Structure 1
Amino acid sequence: MEYRVKTGDIIDVTITGIQPYGAFASLPDHTSGLIHISEISDKFVRSVESFVHVGEVIRVKVIDIDEESHQAKLSLKAVHTAKRKYKRAYKNQREKIQETPLGFNPLKEKLPEWIAQGIKKEEE
């Protein structure tokens, strides 16, 4: 029995062609699919070639399949976004910052001394 990819599958595909609007790929079940430029990365994609190359094998998520043409819509960023979610240790990066009990007081106390030193250097 031949394996058929389904929506939601995460599969390895081979890049077969690159266009300005996306990359074409060959799927394990010998059908083809497109990774649209908007599904390459969460960041701005100036050039598809800076992310994938012809002949390269990459892991993607199947986001839809056109039943008539058997063409798959693929997403590279869906796989990378899922990985990033689990690596992130803190939900709010500000939680990592711990304030010192003295706050800015040590700087406030030293400021007059630093100003005096600066004026002294300018006069020399």
Structure 2
Amino acid sequence: MTLKAGSILTGTIVNITNFGAFVEVDGKTGLVHISEVADSFVKDIHDHLKEKDKVKVKVLSVDDNGKISLSIKQAIDHKKSVKPIEIDWEKKNTQNAVNFEDKLSRFLKDSEEKFQDLKRHQDSRTRGYKKNTSH
């Protein structure tokens, strides 16, 4: 089978370096760069891979010189590995509803009191002041 970009194959890790892992696929060796090992940051590649491990890889590119660029993280089927969160929309949380109602009524009461205080303050300031109607 000829290696072509986009193919997903199984290979064997033959060597690990600080910058990546060399994986043998179909009798040829390609490089999985350290940035293509996992979705999260990889500080030490040895924490994720060991020599002779079988890994699923995606062929990213094959250049004219025969260099093969591979990815482990892109070979993972994310649709299978990520489960959607199930939400029960029928279930009502009555405790939050009561708390919300209490908070709302308390807010309205406080707001009305503050409004009345502001109105009294403005009325007391304008009592001694008469509008000048003549210009």
Q: What TM-score, normalized to structure 2?
A: 0.63
Report the CA distance between 1:5 and its aligned residue: 1.1
Query: Within the alignment, does 1:96 sit opposite 2:93 as a pair?
Result: no
User: Is the Cα contact below 8 Å between 1:31 and 1:71 reproduced in 2?
Assistant: no
Which residues of structure 2 form unaligned runs of 5+?
A: 103-135
The 8 Å contact of residues 65 and 72 in structure 1, kept in 2 or not, is answered as yes
CA distance in 2, matches of 1:66, 1:4: 13
- Could you tell me how far 1:101 is from its partner in structure 2? 4.0
Deviation sequence 1:92-123 (CA, Å, 0-9, x none) = x5x727551442536998xxxxxxxxxxxxxx
1:53 paired residue number: 50
Q: Cα gap change, 1:44/1:97 in structure 2, threshold over 3 Å: closer, same or farther?
A: farther
Q: Structure 1 unaligned runs (5+)?
A: 110-124
Q: How many residues align?
A: 100
Change (3 A) 1:87 1:24: closer
TM-score by length of 1: 0.68
Paired residue for 1:78, among 74, 79, 83?
A: 74
2:11 to 13, 24, 33: 13
Q: Is residue 35–residue 76 contact of structure 1 (8 Å, CA) maintained in 2? A: yes
1:15-62: per-residue Cα shift (whole Å, max 9, x none)?
11111110011111x221000011001101111111111111111000
Out of 48, 52, 60, the residue aligned to residue 63 of structure 1 is 60
Indicate if the aligned counterparts of 1:37 and 1:48 stay in contact, CA closer than 8 A.
yes
Aligned-pair identity (%): 27
Q: Please tell me whether residue 36 in structure 1 is matched to residue 33 in structure 2.
A: yes
RMSD in angstroms over aligned alpha carbons?
A: 2.5
- Partners of 1:100 and 1:10 in 2: how far apart? 46
Helix, strand or coil for the counterpart of 1:44? coil
